[in-house]
Amino acid sequence: METYIMDQLVGKTMFAVVRYYDKVSMYCEDGRIYTLLHEQDCCETVVLDDVCGEITDLVDSPFLVAEVSSNNDDNPDYESATWTFYKFATIKGYVTMRWHGSSNGYYGESVDLVIDQENTQEWRDIRLEVLGIK
């Protein structure tokens, strides 16, 4: 399903991309909010470890690339680890967001891409802020 969502992003134009610590929300011209996040649970940690590229390159230009890949690893420092890479590109440049999750092996370490079509107030507030009206 996530690959399908990523494929849907190709051709979409974002008017804002906002990082809130370990959450990234992308506000699309079509009224949707695409959010990358992980709902933390007990014995796990999932963080946005690195952003390579300029997030501003993802704004005001259609997505040419939207891909996700992941890699799992067992390490003596923790029982389980997952790296998830979200790769985006527009004509302005490439951005890769590297997420790292670790746990005791019984909890999820994945990152979710959530589409919000219902939160029109948040979308409007960010839109007005970008336009300098709010």
**Phi–psi pair at 9, nearest 5 degrees:** -75, -25
Q: What is the pLDDT of residue 1?
A: 46
Query: Which stretches of the chain drop beneath a pLDDT of 50?
Result: 1
**Phi–psi pair at 128, nearest 5 degrees:** -65, -40
Whole-prediction pTM value? 0.86
C-beta of residue 67 within 8 angstroms of C-beta of residue 55: no
63 vs 89: CA distance, rounded Å:
6
HSE of 22, CA atoms in CB hemisphere, 13 A = 15
C-beta of residue 72 within 8 angstroms of C-beta of residue 80: yes
The number of domains in the chain is 1
Where in the sequence is the domain holding 44, given as residue range(s)? 2-130
The region that residue 87 occupies, defined by phi over 0 for left and psi between -120 and 50 for alpha, beta otherwise, is beta
